[in-house]
């Protein structure tokens, strides 16, 4: 459901730091929302030929996180993610920016289905084909732990 895209300066993070950021964002999102991990997507893009500018001047000292997710998530979640990304990357918290883009559930399709409204996740999960449900359950989630 949520997609976190982190834009970082080329060569700024090691593979271990990228993994730690992806794990941290996933854990923070799941803790804050109750979502199972298979809903959380994290992409870490290193800026290669592209350049970022602030005030018309090129900068390589910031990390940007764009989040597309269902409406109704908390500011606290974003602030925890900023703190985690700062700690892991060594980039000051004031240089970690998040742009949150809220979408209606019906604006998203995952696992071949339009996403459910809040509170209807269990019924949605049950409509997935059995092989998809089995694959998702292998990620450490089962119906007894499924809550949003």
Instruction: Give bridge partners of residue 2 from the DSSP assignment.
Output: none
The Cα–Cα gap between 77 and 139 comes to: 23
The answer to whether the beta carbons of residues 93 and 110 sit under 8 Å apart is: no
List Cβ neighbours of 8 (8 Å cut-off, separation of 6 or more). 44, 45, 46, 47, 63, 89
Q: How many CA atoms lie within 13 A of 11 on its CB side?
A: 3
Domain 3-105 part of CATH 3.30.429.10:
yes
Mean pLDDT for 102-123 is 85
What's the length of the chain? Answer: 148
pLDDT tens, position by position, 20-72: 999 999 999 988 888 778 888 999 999 777 788 888 888 888 999 999 988 77
Mean pLDDT for 119-130 is 86
Whole-number percent of the chain with pLDDT over 70: 93
146 phi, psi to nearest 5 deg: -75, 115
Whole-number percent of the chain with pLDDT over 90: 44
The answer to whether the beta carbons of residues 59 and 53 sit under 8 Å apart is: yes
């Amino acid at each position: 459901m949520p997609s976190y895209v982190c834009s970082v300066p080329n060569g700024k993070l090691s593979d271990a730091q990228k993994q730690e950021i992806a794990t941290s964002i996933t854990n923070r999102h799941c803790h804050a929302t109750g979502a199972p991990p298979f809903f959380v997507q994290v992409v870490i893009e290193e800026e290669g030929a592209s350049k970022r500018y602030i005030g018309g001047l090129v900068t390589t000292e910031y990390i940007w996180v764009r989040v597309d997710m269902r409406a109704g998530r908390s500011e606290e979640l974003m602030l925890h993610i900023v703190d985690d990304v700062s700690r892991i990357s060594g980039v000051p918290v004031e240089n970690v920016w998040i742009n949150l883009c809220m979408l209606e559930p019906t604006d998203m399709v995952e696992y071949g289905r339009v996403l459910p409204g809040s509170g209807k996740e269990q019924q949605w999960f049950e409509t997935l084909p059995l092989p998809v449900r089995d694959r998702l359950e292998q990620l450490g989630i089962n119906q007894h732990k499924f809550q949003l």
